[in-house]
Amino acid sequence: MFTFGPGSPGGDGTAGTGTEEPASHAGQATAAGPLPSPPAPPQPEADAAPPPSPSRSPRRPGVPSLPPAAHAGELEPHAALDSSAASTQGEPSPPSPARRRPGPDCRAGGRGRHGLGARLFGWLRERSLGRGLFVDPARDNFRTMTNLYGSIHPADSVYLSTRTHGAVFNLEYSPDGSVLTVACEQTEVLLFDPISSKHIKTLSEAHEDCVNNIRFLDNRLFATCSDDTTIALWDLRKLNTKVCTLHGHTSWVKNIEYDTNTRLLVTSGFDGNVIIWDTNRCTEDGCPHKKFFHTRFLMRMRLTPDCSKMLISTSSGYLLILHDLDLTKSLEVGSYPILRARRTTSSSGVSPRNSLEVLTPEVPGERDRGNCITSLQLHPKGWATLLRCSSNTDDQEWTCVYEFQEGAPVRPVSPRCSLRLTHYIEEANVGRGYIKELCFSPDGRMISSPHGYGIRLLGFDKQCSELIDCLPKEASPLRVIRSLYSHNDVVLTTKFSPTHCQIASGCLSGRVSLYQPKF
């Protein structure tokens, strides 16, 4: 077992601890004292001057076997294919009901035809949802991997060994899972081989201030952003120098998104700006860019997997959703009411591009809607959004899942509410004032959430079913599948490997831990 960071045995015990200051109300949850009353809804502005920068960074910154051939005249119901999954707790699956041979009534056109029609309808419905055996052959593979996650124990963790670089703000795997990158408080980016746990490279002067977020564009190119207001592009094949540095933000840059279809890079920061960068025309001097959107109190910005929506969370508890997204067009409007009016459907029945919806997500225990949305993630299939919220008095913290609701507005005169709370759980509320970045598993069946000095693996039910298979009529608690505690300080970020059964977590004192089952 190796140590990583000053909080571990052999560390200096000083560097990287306590260097993070609480956020100011201008963009972060505060560590001391109650938050002020939630302000009015954010006012998107096209050319408004950015708010004054806070005094200091908050620093939280194999294919399954086919079923037996059906008897003549009988179609095997696809639902039986999914009933063989084992529970994550090791419970046996209930036995499948005995298959009936088609009796005379089937041949004679009796009641058996109704059963055949029902099975056919169910099979077609599974295919239409993209969940049939021949539509998604990896479905059972993900189920098996989910069961492996439930068997991980804290003793299985491995510490990545290197000297301290301050708090760990973000973890990101390359798409092929071969590289794990670590965004550090003290201007550096670390690269590891997550399979062998070996240190690959330290980018000692990646930025001039703390590194907040990392995003891979493909298996070799990645981008980093920092409190120094810049974004840097890197190539894994040539890490001695940056590909280029992007200038355009006026305050701390907090997260990065990427549209693989248009190859546009999207960044957001505490200056309230969302900026688009055209990497198709990237040179050593940078990339052409333009301001796409502006709003006050911006915290995080995310794109849905198909890039049809942009979600923006704010420190004032509001969530902004841009529908029918078109990144090639800036929102050149001057006031919030105009944007809100654009959310309604036009006379032709089609919503305009980049139409805005402003809503306040329901949070259990906080009915006064005075919450700060500190973390924002999206389901890998685009079915839901995952929020981490802190109360307006900073004494409660919640993880909430909201399902996207599509369709026309209930009342044409008002915008529809696109989100419905489906699952939630109260968090430990340890390390007040720091942002905790949580994440979905690659298949979307599980959530990894920082919880005190460790992480919790959460599921929508005890069997870790897909969200679409267990949507409750009313909001229900998330189920704790496994708790893993191996850090000696508050965990700030966690990430699933996209290709292996592995989870990484990083804490305030700089230690990075890898969890994976042992065989």
Give the strand pairing for 371-378 and 503-507. Answer: unpaired
pLDDT band, very low/low/confident/very high, at 117 (cuts 50, 70, 90)? low
Is the model more confident about 101 or about 304? 304
Q: Is pLDDT above 70 for 482? A: yes
Q: Mean pLDDT over residues 244-262, rounded?
A: 94
**Residue 4: left if φ>0, alpha if ψ -120 to 50, beta else—which one?**
beta
**pLDDT, the chain, mean:** 75
Q: Mean pLDDT over residues 22-36, rounded?
A: 39
Distance, CA of 19 to CA of 7 (rounded, Å): 14
Give the range among 84-93, 295-304, 339-348 with minimum mean pLDDT.
84-93
CB 481 within 8 A of CB 458: yes
Q: Mean pLDDT over residues 471-475, rounded?
A: 91
Distance, CA of 246 to CA of 111 (rounded, Å): 69
**Rg of the Cα atoms in the chain:** 24
Give the range among 79-83, 358-362, 416-420, 462-466 with minimum mean pLDDT.
79-83
Distance, CA of 436 to CA of 345 (rounded, Å): 37
Place of tokens 């809804």: 41
What is the percent of the chain where pLDDT is above 90? 44
What pTM was estimated for this model as a whole?
Answer: 0.71
| Three-state SS sequence of 337-371 | HHHHHCCCCCCCCCCCCCEEEEECCCCCCCCCCCE
CB 276 within 8 A of CB 266: yes
Largest CA distance in the chain: 83
Q: Mean pLDDT over residues 186-202, rounded?
A: 91
Give the range among 130-134, 426-430, 460-464, 466-470 with minimum mean pLDDT.
130-134
Distance, CA of 399 to CA of 216 (rounded, Å): 26
User: 106 - beta bridge partners?
Assistant: none
Distance, CA of 456 to CA of 449 (rounded, Å): 5
pLDDT band, very low/low/confident/very high, at 348 (cuts 50, 70, 90)? low
Q: Is pLDDT above 60 for 25? A: no
CB 266 within 8 A of CB 301: yes
User: Residue 426 carries which side chain, given as an amino acid letter?
Assistant: E
Q: Is pLDDT above 60 for 160? A: yes
CB-count burial class (<10 Å; 0-12, 13-18, 19+) for 121: exposed
Give the range among 71-75, 197-201, 279-283 with minimum mean pLDDT.
71-75
Q: Mean pLDDT over residues 204-231, rounded?
A: 95
Distance, CA of 346 to CA of 21 (rounded, Å): 47
Which pLDDT belongs to residue 284? 84
pLDDT band, very low/low/confident/very high, at 351 (cuts 50, 70, 90)? low
Which pLDDT belongs to residue 35? 39
Which pLDDT belongs to residue 344? 46
pLDDT band, very low/low/confident/very high, at 174 (cuts 50, 70, 90)? very high
Q: Is pLDDT above 60 for 299? A: yes
CA dihedral 424, 492, 230, 218 (to 10 degrees): -70
Which pLDDT belongs to residue 483? 93
pLDDT band, very low/low/confident/very high, at 83 (cuts 50, 70, 90)? very low
Which two three-digit tokens encode residue 193?
Answer: 């081989």
Is the model more confident about 75 or about 137? 137
Which two three-digit tokens encode residue 333?
Answer: 């409007």
Q: Is pLDDT above 70 for 245? A: yes
At residue 497, the 3 state secondary structure works out as: coil
Give the range among 37-46, 49-58, 405-414, 473-482 with minimum mean pLDDT.
49-58
pLDDT in tens, 365-417: 655 545 789 899 999 999 999 999 887 777 788 999 999 986 544 444 444 56
Q: Mean pLDDT over residues 103-132, rounded?
A: 55
Which pLDDT belongs to residue 32? 37
